[in-house]
Amino acid sequence: MTTDTITEKLSIHVKSFQESFDILSNSSSLYEMSMQFMKVLRGSFFTTNISMFHKNDYDSEWRTLIAKDDESIEKISSISEQDSLKINSNEEITELYTSTKLVDSSYLGIWLGKKYDGTEYTDIDKITFQIFIQLFDNAYQALLSHKKEKELIFDLNNKVAQLYNLIDTGIELSNLHHGDKMMELAISRAISLTDSSFGRIKVTEDNTVIEEATFPPYLEKEMHKNHKSLTEKFVDVGIEYEFTLCEKESRTGTVDYDDTDQLLFGAIVRQVHAAIENDRYHKEALENEAMKRELAVAAEIQKRILPDKLPVIDGYDLAGINIPSKEVSGDYYNVLKLDDGRYALIVADVTGKGMPASLLVSTLDASLQAYLNFKIPLSEMAVKLNSIIFRASTADKFITFFIAVLNPQNGEIDIINAGHNPALILRKKKEVEKIDAGGVAFGMFDMGLPFEGQKLTLEKGERLFIFSDGIPEAMDKDEEEYSDERMEELFKNEISDSSRDFISMILRDVRKHTKGEPQSDDITAIYLIRKE
């Protein structure tokens, strides 16, 4: 392959590289970035067999981020420090793996397994893989910078809020000029009311002094020589505020503080504390109220979209479930009867939750309702849906999508899988068949990429299981996933005459694995049995 040919093929991916960087750079943690990167790689290399590992330095043990192959860790561990960034492969070139040193000197290990179609990885794939790894490193650097920036902004905002959003600390402070620092005003007023010479404010977090100031500031050295002082303190959200007054003056010289001084000083400090708390509670109340309004609207949108009940299909037993992990689900499912007597079984998963995800689900649902009865090929419909979702979503939003259109008369099914988990079919001989046909998730790229469909037949007695990743990726307290393997084993062996009984059974098994841990993602599934 010539250099011009390689350059020409890589140029096609330039936009996808940029879009992938945008998606990765919006991640809030290494784990989230890894999950997004897995979806990017899955869409670019057409494989769901992806493992990712991380370690703090070369001599540390690898920590699993994503594991889809038990032997992948051994291959990653075999890479020497000198071979960092080198793309390795097995003899059949059906696997690619590498270890790369990131900007903070930690290491990321990535293993790509077999493609959906079983073909070899090409030189273009290796170059593309290497570019994606560099994009990950750049996005990871942006993540680290963003975290530092957020910490600085949070620290500054917290101090500004403490100083400028404290409103009235008492009658003595209410007449002071606006724009001054609240705690300075409080200590200054306390100094005046108790006839003190000077005072100090000290702010401590985790036994570390993060702020310290004396008033007036030019008396800082004198602070350490004084023995006659009065101190009041309080703790708010883990931060300790300590106010100290020094050297009470009188006509006869320096005297001890009396009970009146103690009461007055304590009242001023309590008012400062109340002002800080009220400001925080007010902000939290506003945020909670805004969130409730958004969730209420999103829930109403979703209520209108998700089915109250599924249609009855003669000769079949059908059941579905959607259990959101938050107040509003990011998953979508439906079973729609078409004008020609066929039925469309759909499961989709939108990145993110809340109002943005609900609006994107609404767009998907409306587009499906418009296109399904046009009798256009599913592959053509998928291209149109991808373009619609791309235009309707931001760079960090996309939809994995699975649709199976069933002809109930003969059991024939047309299928498209756009970046979603492979659906499962249980054949008569208790053989499990995975359905991977399709392309990238909707909304990731708008490059006219084709979506390859698949046709198959569901014979009498056979079963179809469509699900979202909330089932195999359900985690226990140790962040161990329920796993595709455990789900497939139950699907294969726990055969029930009722679709609803099977769904109840797998939900019980997921809860048995998670042991009461909060649900980490939305759970959605459709189970179809063709009766004997």
pLDDT tens track for 435-473: 876 778 888 888 777 888 899 999 999 999 999 999 999
Q: Where in the chain is the domain with CATH 3.60.40.10?
A: 310-530
Q: Is the pLDDT of residue 178 over 50?
A: no
Pairing relation of β-strands 438-439 and 412-418?
parallel
Closest among 7, 116, 8, 14 to 447, alpha carbons compared: 14
pLDDT score of 3 = 52
Closest among 484, 493, 428 to 458, alpha carbons compared: 428
Q: Is the pLDDT of residue 71 over 80?
A: yes
Task: Kindly report the number of other CB atoms within 10 A of residue 484's CB atom.
Answer: 19
Tokens of 518: 């909060």
pLDDT score of 499 = 95
* Structure confidence at residue 182 as a pLDDT band (50, 70, 90): low
**498 Cβ contact list (under 8 Å, min separation 6):** 317, 319
Helix 354-371 and helix 378-392: axis angle, to 10°?
A: 150
Q: Where in the chain is the domain with CATH 3.30.450.40?
A: 3-149, 171-282
* Structure confidence at residue 302 as a pLDDT band (50, 70, 90): low
- φ/ψ bin of 516: left (φ > 0), alpha (ψ from -120 to 50), beta (otherwise): left
Asked if the 310-530 domain carries CATH number 3.60.40.10, the reply is: yes
- As a whole number, the mean pLDDT across the chain is 81
Closest among 145, 148, 152, 150 to 25, alpha carbons compared: 145
Greatest mean pLDDT among 95-109, 293-307, 323-337, 436-450: 95-109
CA distances from 141 to 127, 155, 492 (A): 21, 21, 44
Q: CB of 79 within 8 A of CB of 107?
A: no
Q: Which CATH code for domain 171-282? A: 3.30.450.40
pLDDT score of 142 = 82
The pLDDT tens digits for 252-296 are: 788 888 887 888 778 778 877 776 776 677 677 777 676 667 666
Helix 259-305 and helix 182-193: axis angle, to 10°?
A: 160
Closest among 360, 366, 441, 418 to 393, alpha carbons compared: 360
CATH topology assigned to domain 3-149: Beta-Lactamase (3.30.450)
The pLDDT tens digits for 6-30 are: 455 545 555 666 777 777 778 888 8
* Structure confidence at residue 164 as a pLDDT band (50, 70, 90): very low
> Across 40-124, where does the E strand assignment appear?
50-55, 63-66, 88-89, 96-101, 107-112
